[in-house]
């Protein structure tokens, strides 16, 4: 069955960096686009970034453009999110999601919490 | 960005009764290929979101048939024909027609 397991979250000071990872299994990772979506505590969902299966096309939300970098390693079945210059407003649970047919997130991981605080 | 507006934001429902959630977009969600990329997600307490409906009205595998989606253009609805206890949670609409993807604020469904 499809499994997405995020890791790498934690407490970081404003201006700091963090790298999130998402280990995928149960499907052919290299065939699928992937995405990161976040949810601030007690708030709604916000799309963060998207990457095609080969990594040739990447999109970012304006709120993270220039600070976050999405990447993938198809040989390792893994998705990454490098987060630099973190701000308090980046505090959220970050979900890794598979982009299924019809270009929509059809499977989500359990999420990893990123807290940006001094 | 396309703004997705859900109503109501809170929906107390009696078990066994129907429930309906509205989602309106600030622009048409019809893509150039003729498809409408409107999705519905359920987030139960303490869980990750789960997709229920894609392309307006298509149920995902394993989703009970008491859930149905309808609508067109800018106006969409998620209906639960008879609410069960396991349906408690927050429901989000999401558009995938225009970049960036955007979500509604969420509708909290609770049992009266």
For B36-60, the pLDDT digits (tens) are: 999 999 999 999 999 999 999 999 9
Q: In chain A, which residue's Cα lies nearest the Cα of B94?
A: A104
Please indicate if any CB of chain B lies within 8 Å of the CB of A62. Answer: yes
Look at residue B18 in the predicted model and tell me its pLDDT. 98
What pLDDT digit, counting tens, does each position of B99-109 carry? 999 999 999 99
Look at residue A102 in the predicted model and tell me its pLDDT. 83
Please judge whether B106 and A44 are an interchain contact, meaning their C-beta atoms are less than 8 angstroms apart: yes
CB pairs under 8 A between A and B: 51
Cis peptide before A42 (omega within 30 of 0): no
Please indicate if any CB of chain A lies within 8 Å of the CB of B108. Answer: no
Q: Which domains, from first to last, does chain B contain? A: 4-111 (2.60.40.10)
Confidence of residue B61 (pLDDT cuts 50, 70, 90): very high
Please indicate if any CB of chain B lies within 8 Å of the CB of A47. Answer: yes
Please judge whether B51 and A105 are an interchain contact, meaning their C-beta atoms are less than 8 angstroms apart: yes
Residue A103, pLDDT above cutoff 90: no
Q: How far is CA B15 from CA A11, A58, B79, B87, in A?
A: 41, 44, 14, 10
The whole-angstrom separation of Cα A29 and Cα A69 is 19
């Amino acid at each position: 069955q499809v499994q997405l397991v995020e890791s790498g979250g934690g407490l970081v000071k404003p201006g700091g960096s963090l790298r999130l990872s998402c280990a995928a299994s149960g499907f052919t990772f290299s065939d699928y686009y992937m995405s990161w979506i976040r949810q601030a505590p007690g708030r709604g969902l916000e799309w963060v970034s998207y990457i095609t299966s080969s990594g040739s096309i990447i999109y970012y939300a304006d709120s993270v453009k220039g600070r976050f970098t999405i990447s993938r390693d198809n040989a390792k079945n893994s998705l990454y999110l490098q987060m630099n210059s973190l701000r308090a407003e980046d505090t959220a649970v970050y979900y890794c999601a598979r982009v299924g047919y019809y270009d929509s997130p059809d499977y989500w991981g359990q999420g990893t919490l990123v807290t940006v605080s001094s | 960005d396309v703004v997705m507006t859900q109503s109501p934001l809170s929906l107390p429902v009696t078990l066994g009764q129907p429930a309906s959630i509205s989602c309106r977009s600030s622009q048409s969600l019809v893509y150039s290929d003729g498809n409408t990329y409107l999705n519905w997600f359920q987030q139960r307490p303490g869980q990750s979101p789960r997709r229920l409906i894609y392309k307006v009205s298509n149920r995902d595998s394993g989703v009970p048939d008491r859930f149905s989606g309808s609508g067109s253009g800018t106006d969409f609805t998620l209906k639960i024909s008879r609410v069960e206890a396991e349906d408690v949670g927050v429901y989000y609409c999401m558009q995938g027609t225009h970049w960036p993807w955007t979500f509604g604020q969420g509708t909290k469904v609770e049992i009266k």
